[in-house]
Amino acid sequence: MIDMRDVGVRVLVGDLASEELPMVAAQALAEGLDSPSLRELAGLSRGDYREARELLDQVVHELGLPELPDEEQAVWEVVASYARRVVSGAITPVDGAHAIAAFGGSLGFPEPLATFAYLADLWEDNAAERAQLEQEIEREAEALLRDVGD
């Protein structure tokens, strides 16, 4: 089921365009979520992206979800989401490392996130060591989740 708070976080960090919100809202309605603002959001056109972004906050509130975080906290939430996907096997370690590294730049590459950029670069340059590097990425993802309390 669609998590509209997660959708909001992804919009905040640029991982999902505001223009996509009406389609996401329509899908959420089809899955059984409902609120007045969600219905209104689903009825907007892609060109109404500013209004869509404003409605998203109302949707989150009406659904009783926790408030959307500030942009920095949103980046950390997305990074943790990618780490969870690496650990669960939902995405490959190298794809997760690249994604985490990409978001790490907006935070000034703090130590744990810089490690993902380093490991992703090593993976690209060392075909013979990829299996070992993937295990290291998985360990780093597990450590990141422990550090962020996830």
- How many domains would you assign to the chain? 2
Q: Indicate if 58 and 87 belong to the same structural domain.
A: no
Q: Indicate if 142 and 89 belong to the same structural domain.
A: yes
Distances (CA, A) of 105 to 47, 75, 102: 29, 10, 6
Q: Please, what is the Cα angle at 138 between 137 and 142, to 5 degrees?
A: 115
**pLDDT tens digits, one per residue of 47-94:** 998 999 999 999 999 999 999 999 999 999 999 999 999 999 999 999
- How much of the chain, in percent, has pLDDT values that exceed 70? 99
Q: Indicate if 94 and 42 belong to the same structural domain.
A: no
Q: Indicate if 31 and 55 belong to the same structural domain.
A: yes
Structure confidence at residue 33 as a pLDDT band (50, 70, 90): very high
pLDDT at 121: 95
Q: Is 59 exposed, middle or buried (0-12, 13-18, 19+ CB in 10 A)?
A: buried
Answer for the pair 83, 145: CB distance below 8 angstroms, yes or no: yes
Residues 6+ apart with CB under 8 A from 41: 21, 22, 25, 52, 55, 56, 59
**pLDDT tens digits, one per residue of 122-150:** 999 999 999 999 999 999 999 999 988 76
pLDDT at 1: 87
Q: Indicate if 80 and 139 belong to the same structural domain.
A: yes
pLDDT at 105: 83
Range of the domain at 118: 71-147
Structure confidence at residue 112 as a pLDDT band (50, 70, 90): confident
Q: Indicate if 46 and 75 belong to the same structural domain.
A: no
- Maximum Cα–Cα distance for the chain, whole Å? 55
pLDDT at 74: 93
Q: Indicate if 78 and 126 belong to the same structural domain.
A: yes
The amino acid sitting at 12 is L
Q: What is the mean pLDDT of residues 4-14?
A: 94
Q: Indicate if 58 and 75 belong to the same structural domain.
A: no
Q: Indicate if 76 and 58 belong to the same structural domain.
A: no
Answer for the pair 19, 46: CB distance below 8 angstroms, yes or no: yes
pLDDT at 150: 64
Q: Indicate if 92 and 143 belong to the same structural domain.
A: yes
Q: Indicate if 58 and 82 belong to the same structural domain.
A: no
